[in-house]
Structures are given as C-alpha cells and as structure tokens.
Amino acid sequence: MTRTLKSLGLAGIVFLLPLLISVVYPTSDHAFSANAAEKKEPKYKDVKTRKRASVGKTCSKALDRVRGEKSPIAEAGDAEEGVDVTPFFLEAKEMLEDIEKSSKKCSSAYEETQVWSTMGYVYFALDDIPGAAIYYRKIVDSDGAEPEFRLDTRLTLGQFYAAMEKYEMAIEQYEIWAEAAFVVGAQERLTMAQLYYQLERKDDSLRSVKLGISEAEAKGILPKESFWALGTALYNEKNQMDKVIDYLEKLVTHYPKWKYWKQLGGMFGAQERMTDQLVAYEVIYLNGELTKESDVLAMAYMYLGAEVPYRAAKIIEKGIKDKIVEKNFKHYDLLGKSWFLAQHIPQALTSYETASKYSDNGEIQYLIGSTYLDLGQDMMAYKASLKAEKKGGIKKPNANYATMGNALLNMHCYKDAVKAFNKAIKSAKTKRDKRYPAQWIKFANYEGDRMQRLRDVGAKVPSCAV
C-alpha cells in the first residue's frame, strides 16, 4: 500500500529553498560582463571568445552619472546601516529611464545591455523582482550581450523566475545554463532538483538529487542536507522504503535534527521494525524532544507493545507531570493499566482512583476493586465491586462478580460469595468464563460447611466480616 508523505511525518521536507540571488554591483561598463574571459579556466563549453565590445564616450558618461563614484547607486552603497536608500535607487531608475528614451546616449546593442543590467540591478535593489526579470530577459535575448555574460545572466534570471514561482520559466533558464557550464555547483544542482519537483518531473528531480550527492561524495565533501531531504520524499513517492530509510539514516547521522529522527522512527514503524522504531523514539525522548501529547502516548504504547509496561508507565507519568499529557480519565486509566502490567500494584491503584475522579464509571470501579483484591484489601475490593455493579457499563461483568466473590470468600462470607459467583456464571458469555466461578462455588460451599462443622463442635473460627 502506498503511504502518503503526511502519514509518515515526511510532509514539509520538500520545499524550494530561499534563493541567494547574486546580482553584481554595477561600477563600470564591464561590471556585468563575464570575468571568465580574464581567467585561464573558462566557465562554459563551446563559448568562443570574441573581441569585447566597448561603451561609447556618450553612453559611458551617462552611465557614470548613474553608477559612478558620485552617483545615486554609489551613495546608496555608502549609506550607513539603517538608512533608507530607496530614494537613491528611485533617482537612479529615473535617470536610466531617460537614457532608455534617448536615441543618442546608449544606442548600440552592447550599450543597451549595460543599461538593462544596471536597470535590473536597480529594480532588484527596490525589491521588484518581476521588474528586474524583465530587464534580465532582455539581456539573454539580445545579441549585444557577450556569450559568457548572457549565460551568467541566465542563471540569475532563473533565480528570479524561481522566486516568482514561475518554475517552468526558471528551469528553462537553468537547463540552458547547465548545458553550457563546465561545472554545475551544488546549490544550482539542488535548485534544479527542487524546480523539477515543483513541476512534477519527479524522475528528473531524483536524477539531479543523486547526481548532486555523488558529485559531493566524489570530492570528499558532505552533500547538502536538502539533497537527502528531497531524495527522501521522492523515494517515498516511489514506495522505495529501503531508500527512504537509507537517506533518513544519512540525515540523522550528518544533520541530526529531531524531525528526521521522528520521520525515521515512523518509517521503522511502517516497516514493522519495532525495536528500531523504539530506539529512534527513545533517542528523541531522552533529549526532551517529544513535546506533543500524541508522540508521548505513541511511545508509551510502543513500550506496552514491546512488553515493557514499567517504561510505558514512567513515560505517561512524566508526560502528565510535565503538562504534555492531559489529566483526564483516559490517560490515568492507561497509566493504571501500565502500572498493573508492570506489577506495581499500589501505583496502579492510585492511578485508577485518580481516573475515577474524572469519570466514575463501572469499569474503573471494577479495576479499583480487582487492584484492592491483589493488595489483600478485601473490604475495599468488595465495596468497589458493589459500586461497579451499581454503576454498570462494565466490559466483563462476570470478572467484577468474580472479584466480589473472592473478596467475600477471603472475609469468610461464604454464602454471599456463592451468590456473587452465581452472578458471574450468569453474566459470563463463554464456557471458559463460566468454569472459573463454578470451581469457586464448590470451594466456597465446602469451606462454608467445614467452618460450620467446626463451630458446631465449639471451635472458634472466623465469621463473615461484612
């Protein structure tokens, strides 16, 4: 059966990371051109180096007034922290718009890319990503942009589109860029994987995840956390649970966040690896990271299932004390049963009596009565069983009458004990349940007759204490 992300606690691990959009500060007509041409190692494949175009004197002066040493953009960069620099960028935007309108200032294709790149930077500084994207799109569509600069711009444009949630347009730019790049960095590879995921291209997403992990491991460095997190979700959707567990184990080893431990514990449970599940949750619990009532109770039930009721009781008790587990009938009843199974009878009795304060029904009085009987407090057991009979709603009335009969038997009230055992037989639903009280009736009659014979000959024997 296919399990959903939510059911396994994996929901929320798939997300598009906040993109660290890098936009170069414009200081000259070459500020936005690729620096790779000046380096020995090229950044892109099949990109022919061509003679760099230059900005004419008129355009250079116009741009210098916008982004030069004494320009609005420079003043914004020099402003002290906390100062609102919006007016500087609005001034720069107005100046650039004037340049765009003029046919004499920056008219060549290359000069236009310089204006667009500066305008894109200004829009970005004004937190107008759509506006910045428009100008960056003009650059990548222009023949005036140098090849490497165009490819660099594609990467930033892809980041803009991703931030705008235009995932199809974003991945288009990333794919063109990645095809030309000699090296695709881990962050870019991860962003592509996340974009593919958003577009339901799950196979492409997983391929990018696996490639990102293998590239990092080949370099001897730790893969990014989000590669394994995204891979976990992808493998879960493919129902490849062994791979999900493998990736989660990587996460708890290298990025030990409690959410991953919880997810791993949930996966172990889904695979019926109960011991492993218990170990995972115990690690979380011991570090104080189980802060939800449902998680604490789930762990208690795990220990009950593993036949370690004492640990279950301690967990419930602490959960109530720490105000994580609500004080109510259900939880005190569970605590009592856990203590009882652990053979800590006094603690079980205390828990049952506390539970009765929240809902004094027949069932809880039966449990109180049977616990008193185990403690040898027969009168209290008898009174509790009477109260249970009166309140009704007992799951197994025959068991309550058996408790009543045994308490009366211990107090030498043989005739009353026989009556109680007869009620047990009458309310029992199976032959097996009838057999037990029938045997006690025989014993009660025999013991009652024996005591009477002793009395008849003057012996001092105990009489009914009720």
Q: Torsion angle of alpha carbons 27, 73, 154, 35, nearest 10°? A: 10
Which tokens hold the place of 75?
């003043």
The predicted-structure confidence for 38-72, as pLDDT tens digits, reads as follows: 444 567 776 665 566 788 889 999 999 999 888 99
Determine, yes or no, domain membership for 134.
yes
List all residues 6 or more positions away from 370 whose beta carbon is below 8 Å from its beta carbon: 381, 399, 400, 403
Strand partners, 44: 181
Torsional sign, CA 281, 285, 287, 288: positive
Which tokens hold the place of 204?
């492409």
In angstroms, the Cα distances linking 197 to 12, 16, 227, 408, 441 are 13, 9, 12, 71, 72
Which ranges constitute the DSSP H helices of 50-85?
57-67, 72-78
| Poorest-pLDDT segment among 33-42, 253-262, 332-341 | 33-42
Question: What DSSP character marks residue 37?
Answer: G
3-state secondary structure of 85: coil
Position 49 scores a pLDDT of 59
CB 98 within 8 A of CB 66: no
CATH number at residue 132: 1.25.40.10
Domain range for 129: 55-181
Task: Summarize the confidence of residues 178-190 as an average pLDDT.
Answer: 92
Which ranges constitute the DSSP H helices of 126-239?
129-140, 147-163, 167-180, 186-198, 202-218, 225-237
Determine, yes or no, domain membership for 116.
yes
The predicted-structure confidence for 218-274, as pLDDT tens digits, reads as follows: 999 999 999 999 999 999 999 999 999 999 999 999 999 999 999 999 999 999 999
Position 7 scores a pLDDT of 39
Position 5 scores a pLDDT of 39
Q: Is the pLDDT of residue 14 over 70?
A: no
Determine, yes or no, domain membership for 66.
yes
Determine, yes or no, domain membership for 88.
yes
Residue 22 banded pLDDT, cuts 50, 70, 90 = low
Torsional sign, CA 76, 80, 82, 83: negative
The predicted-structure confidence for 409-454, as pLDDT tens digits, reads as follows: 999 999 999 999 999 999 999 999 999 999 999 999 999 999 989 9
Q: Is the pLDDT of residue 31 over 50?
A: no
Position 20 scores a pLDDT of 52
The predicted-structure confidence for 262-315, as pLDDT tens digits, reads as follows: 999 999 999 999 999 999 999 999 999 999 999 999 999 999 999 999 999 999
Q: Is the pLDDT of residue 3 over 50?
A: no
Q: What share of the chain is helix, strand, coil (3-state, %, to 5)?
A: 70, 0, 30
Average pLDDT of the chain to the nearest whole number: 89
Residue 30 banded pLDDT, cuts 50, 70, 90 = very low
CB 154 within 8 A of CB 34: no
The predicted-structure confidence for 350-407, as pLDDT tens digits, reads as follows: 999 999 999 889 999 999 999 999 999 999 999 999 999 999 999 999 999 999 999 9
The predicted-structure confidence for 114-157, as pLDDT tens digits, reads as follows: 999 999 999 999 999 999 999 999 999 998 888 889 999 999 99
Question: What DSSP character marks residue 156?
Answer: H
Strand partners, 181: 44
Phi, psi dihedral angles at 164 (to 5 degrees):
-85, 0
Torsional sign, CA 414, 419, 425, 427: negative
Cα separation, 373 vs 365, whole angstroms: 12
Determine, yes or no, domain membership for 251.
no
Our measurement of the distance from residue 335's CA atom to the centroid of its chain's CA atoms, rounded to an integer in Å, reads 28
The backbone region for 290, taken as left when phi is positive above 0, alpha when psi lies in -120 to 50, beta otherwise, is: beta
How many percent of the chain have pLDDT more than 70? 89
Cα separation, 118 vs 100, whole angstroms: 12
Cα separation, 154 vs 259, whole angstroms: 36
Question: What DSSP character marks residue 102?
Answer: -
Closest CA to 214 of 197, 231, 198, 239: 231
Q: Identity (one letter) of the amino acid at 379?
A: M
Cα separation, 253 vs 243, whole angstroms: 15
Cα separation, 433 vs 336, whole angstroms: 24
Who has greater pLDDT, 102 or 357?
Answer: 357
Domain count, the chain: 1
List all residues 6 or more positions away from 103 whose beta carbon is below 8 Å from its beta carbon: none
Task: Summarize the confidence of residues 308-328 as an average pLDDT.
Answer: 96
Determine, yes or no, domain membership for 290.
no
Cα separation, 127 vs 124, whole angstroms: 5
Position 249 scores a pLDDT of 96
Q: Is the pLDDT of residue 91 over 70?
A: yes
Determine, yes or no, domain membership for 329.
no
């829009």: which residue's tokens? 123
Position 104 scores a pLDDT of 81
Cα separation, 60 vs 66, whole angstroms: 10
Position 39 scores a pLDDT of 47
Residue 27 banded pLDDT, cuts 50, 70, 90 = low
CB 344 within 8 A of CB 374: no
Residue 326 banded pLDDT, cuts 50, 70, 90 = very high
DSSP assignment of 275-296 equals HHHHHHHHHHHHTT---SHHHH
CB 142 within 8 A of CB 113: yes
Determine, yes or no, domain membership for 158.
yes
CB 121 within 8 A of CB 24: yes
